[in-house]
Amino acid sequence: MSERVIPLVDQRLQTLSARLPAQPIPTTGLLNDALGRPLRDLRISVTDRCNFRCNYCMPKEVFDKNYTYLPHSALLTFEEITRLTQVFIAHGVRKVRLTGGEPLLRKNLETLVEQLAALRTLNGQPLDLTLTTNGSLLKRKAATLKAAGLQRVTVSLDGLDDAVFRRMNDVDFPVADVLEGIAAAQSAGLGPIKVNMVVKRGTNDDQILPMARHFRGSGIVLRFIEYMDVGATNGWRMDEVLPSAEVIQRLQQEWPLVPLEPAAPGETAERWGYAGPDGRHDPSLGEVGVISSVTQAFCRDCNRARLSTEGRLYLCLFAHQGHDLRSLLRGGASDAELASAIGAIWQGRRDRYSELRAFLPPENSGQGRRRIEMSYIGG
């Protein structure tokens, strides 16, 4: 195996100050970026810490006891997050996903959920409010989160074999506890639940069929995610990516699958339904999804903005710089000023990294370029 170079860099240092544009930008809900893409989906990272060390995200060699996490004073408060979310809603956001790090490590997260659940979109509807978690604390927190107004959860689980899973989370965490978390979320009514599995060739691709077998017909939607070249620390290599097309092929050797329409515009997953004896989708058997961020770019419809734990706005998962909204917030900006600043940033957005990846010179693609970490900005 070739030697891996894991650069030790702090991606958080690259910040752009968020400026107020000369002309105010009104909140019409019709904001488009430079490529005509609306702003609909906001992913909010509530912590940069995690109790797992998944080797594709927070490898132990980098995120060790000497790693410096953000101090508490740097984090956006719940009030600051809620205020910014309101401004994003005014620009057209309808869906909010809480993420991290591990979001359930953020103290009193249910208080933030309550505040966000009280907001209304421009159509007067509650937000589509969801959370991505590694499931380790879900058993304890599912009922409280539901009572606070959380609608759904996505749980990450990279295999059913205990040894494989413990190796991947690298903190010896057992599968059984995550499955109990998923069951608790199901009985709390946090559905439809999605389970995300990152597939690394040679590491957990033998878990594709057991995972599908386990979740088929359970009401839970299993989604296979291509291992991505996010960040600069996971030693990503293309030969460890198992293309989604191959995942579908493997599944089809066991069960007939039929393609389904996307559930919403800009949806990242391609959906496939398990077919019944008549060859048509049988809803009682459910569906699977594949997220092909590497082999099939979906930037054209990307309507997602990402807010980091300390209030930087990132326009792409593969961005290498963020726009500092916290300074504006803490500097006394009005809601209209915040809206203008966010509006101007979004209008200037041209990001489409996944579409360009194959054409970039090696120093600007794969792990060659300094970029934010997934554990910092969330999925």
Number of H helices, E strands in the chain: 11, 13
Which distant-in-sequence residues (6+ apart) come within 8 Å of 235 by Cβ?
4, 5, 6, 59, 367
Strand partners, 288: 222, 272
* Cα dihedral 96, 236, 196, 157 sign: negative
Is 57 a binder of ligand SF4 (CB under 6 A)?
Answer: yes
Interface pick for ligand SF4 out of 41, 62, 76, 102 (rule CB under 6 A): 102
Cα gap 30→142, rounded to integer Å: 35
102 or 287, CB closer to ligand SF4? Answer: 102
Cα gap 6→367, rounded to integer Å: 9
| Span interacting with ligand SF4, options 25-33, 324-332, 349-357, 363-371, rule CB under 6 A | 349-357
| Span interacting with ligand SF4, options 73-81, 236-244, 311-319, 332-340, rule CB under 6 A | 311-319
Q: How far is the CB of 187 from ligand SAM (least distance, A)?
A: 20
Footprint of ligand SAM on this chain (CB under 6 A)? 50, 56-57, 99-100, 102, 132-134, 156, 196, 198, 225, 227-228, 230, 234, 374-375, 378-379
For residue 96, give the 3-state DSSP assignment. Answer: strand
Q: How far is the CB of 189 from ligand SF4 (least distance, A)?
A: 24
Instruction: Report yes or no: 291 and 354 within 8 Å, Cβ to Cβ.
Output: no
89 or 302, CB closer to ligand SF4? Answer: 302
Interface pick for ligand SF4 out of 27, 41, 90, 101 (rule CB under 6 A): 101
Q: How far is the CB of 373 from ligand SAM (least distance, A)?
A: 8
Say if strands 257-259 and 270-274 run parallel, antiparallel, or are unpaired: antiparallel
Phi, psi of 252 (to 5 degrees): -70, -20
Interface pick for ligand SF4 out of 298, 305, 329, 342 (rule CB under 6 A): 298
Binding stretches for ligand SF4 (CB under 6 A): 50, 52-54, 57-58, 100-102, 134, 156, 298-299, 302, 304, 316-318, 351-354, 374-375
